[in-house]
Every structure is written in structure tokens, then in C-alpha cells.
Amino acid sequence: MIPQLDNIPHIMAQLDRAGAILPAELVTHIDAHAAHYAPLLRERLAQRLALTSDELAVYGRSHALIFLAQWHDPMTLTLIGELLLRHDDMLDGLYEVFEATVPAYGPAAIPVLAQVMGDATAPTASRIVCTTTLGYIAHVHPLSARAIIRTLRDALPVGEDVAHDHHEVWSWVVTTLAELRSKAAAAQVDELYKAGVLDPNICGRPDEYRRALRESPIKAVFAQPLTLYS
């Protein structure tokens, strides 16, 4: 039996205790009453978890993000930007969920992700997940690919900026450009290889990068986040 709206605290308690798998009736109920649950789920997503938090709390935040992305909740986009700028060790459990859900927002997410990706004060892991998520958006929304490729190219260093130590981020940008089969940045990437500021363990050696421009597979992503529960 699906619980009624007057029992929202009970539903939220179920969500907090569920772990990785949600019962189908719980998913259906929450999805059918987005207006009632969105504020509570935003609070759940925004909470800062202690390092001693158990696995259930981490899953609870992940479930919140999945539902909010499914609903294309606009306030959550701003919240995502704030979360990704946090230096918070407990975000690690959310990064894969970001990649699987944020593409549902489509081009609307590009400014938020680009801002974090280009912020040298943001956690490196957050900048990387923004880079890869931009690539996923381009796959789900092909008409946005040109703008995303331009955003990624603009993130690569030129001139004196090459000396700055963000090699890991740049290497993921190059990897994402290769996955999008963008040859427009090839000359710029060649210069970065020559400068020795790319990590071949991430983006491959120069010959592997050039081969990837021709052979990279299209990655499967979830356009509808609730399919993660299927």
C-alpha cells in the first residue's frame, strides 16, 4: 500500500533507511508528489555529512539528487554548484551520481558545471566530475555539443597558464574532448603534450589521443534519472 501524504515524515524515514535499493512503490509515490518532497530532498542533498556518517546517510543524499534531477528542479542546479565547490570528503559518494543524473538537466547545467570546472579553488575531484558530466550532456543533447566543446577548449591553459599545476583537470578535459571526437582542439592539445603537462595515464599518449579522436565509443548515460532504479 502506498503511504498517504499525511505521512511524509514516515516516507522520508523509509528513504533514509533504504540503502542502495528503493522499493518500487516508494519511488512511484515520491515521484508522483514532487511538489511535496522537493523541499525536503533539497535539504537532504545540502546537508554536510560527518566523516563518521554511515552508508545509509550517503545513500540518502544520492536518492535526493536522483529525484531532484528527474524533476529538473531548477533550485537544485544552484545547490549542485554550491556542493561541488565544497571541500567535503563526504562528497566522494555523490560524484558518480552527479555524472548519472545531472545530464538530465541538459544545456541548462552547462553554466554551473563550467563555473566549477574553471574555478582553481574548487576541489580537483569536483572540477573533474564537471568536465566528464559536460561530455555526457553532449551525448544526451547533441545540439549542445558545440557549446560544450567550446567550453572545454576554453578551459585548457594557454601561454603562461600552462605553468599552473592543474594537470589532472586538463588531462580529463582532453579525454572528454577526445570522447566527443573534437579535432578543433588538436593543435592546442599537441602543445600541452609537448609542454609535458598532461597525464598519459588519464588521456593517453599523443598517438593514443589522436586514435581516440577516431575511435572513441559513445558512452551510455541516463536521460531519465529514475531509470537508475529499474
Which is nearest to 126 in space by CA: 153, 95, 93, 82? 95
How many whole angstroms separate alpha carbon 66 and alpha carbon 62? 6
47-62: pLDDT as tens digits: 888 878 888 888 999 9
Class of domain 5-229: mainly alpha
The answer on pLDDT for 221 being more than 80 is no
Which is nearest to 57 in space by CA: 47, 67, 42, 66? 47
Residue in the block written with cell 549542445:
144
Task: Please report, for residues 63, 99, 207, the alpha-carbon distance to residue 109 in angstroms, rounded to integers and kept in the order given.
Answer: 19, 12, 33
147-173: pLDDT as tens digits: 999 999 999 987 766 666 678 999 999
The answer on pLDDT for 199 being more than 80 is yes
Q: Are 166 and 155 in contact (CB under 8 A)?
A: no
**Average pLDDT for 133-149:** 93
